[in-house]
Copies of this chain bind each other. A is one copy, B any other.
Amino acid sequence: MLLEYKNVRQRERQSFKKDAIIFRQGEIAKYWYEVVSGHARLCHYFGDGRRQVTHFPAAGDVFGFEHGLRQFSAEALTDLVLIRHEPLDGLDSTHSDEKQAQSQAVQRALESTERNLRLFSQPNACRRIGAFLLDFGNHSGAGDRIALPMSRQDLADHLGLTMHTVSRSISQLVKRGMLAAESPTHLIIADRPAFEEFVGVDWVEPDSHTRTSA
């Protein structure tokens, strides 16, 4: 059937090994991506060697909507499975359901980026890292256990800090009893109320429309 053939052409499943490059900053943008499993890392590289990690997309997240040239590189933080989507830009009315899906995907990406921005209103490193960890933990949905697939340097480049400050801040959160460190890559929220109080719960109502609370 013709429709199915077209669908196959438009959505392709792809696998990447840890540290593989999905696309590079500066390339011509051809597709957008949806994470099936694993974690990716989106980085903007500056001329002077600095790097801004803009996002750590996880299962369900989408990225790569720019027109023209890629503004950032996408890299596999862990082994990774993606669905690659062809953008649907035309005015014709074919695949209107796919277009609908794409439009909603861009919107989700926008909301996610805006949440990211809010991290930077945290007045100091501890709160900023705390806010990130809380959000990341909630997003990965493993209760009070937070598995960090990224390095301290990745965190630093995401939060506008140094590796050292990230490390020190996590240590301090542990010392203050809000977190417990199972290993460098596995943290546990030891006192959730205090932790949430510390970073300042401020959501108007977090994603009430996307969350299908059982």
Contacts and interface: CB of A to CB of B under 8 A. Distances in A.
B48 A200 contact: yes
A180 interface: no
Given A26-B204, A52-B117, 8 more contacts: A25-B204, A47-B201, A47-B202, A50-B200, A54-B117, A66-B111, A69-B208, A103-B106
Copies of this chain, complex-wide, total 2
17 contacts: A44-B202, A50-B121, A50-B123, A52-B117, A65-B107, A67-B209, A68-B207, A72-B114, A93-B96, A96-B96, A99-B99, A103-B106, A113-B113, A113-B114, A116-B117, A120-B120, A121-B157
B102 A204 contact: no
A40 to B, nearest CB: 15
A91 interface: yes
Interface residues of A, number: 52
Contacts of A51: 121
A177 to B, nearest CB: 21
A208 B45 CA distance: 18
A4 interface: no
Contacts of A118: 44, 52, 54
A34 to B, nearest CB: 15
A91 B102 contact: no
B91 A97 contact: yes
Interface in A22-48: 25-26, 44-48
Interface string A82-118: 0000000101010011011011001101110110111
A67 to B, nearest CB: 5
A70 interface: yes
For A50, A109, A121, the residue with the greatest tally of chain B CB atoms inside 10 Å of its CB is A121
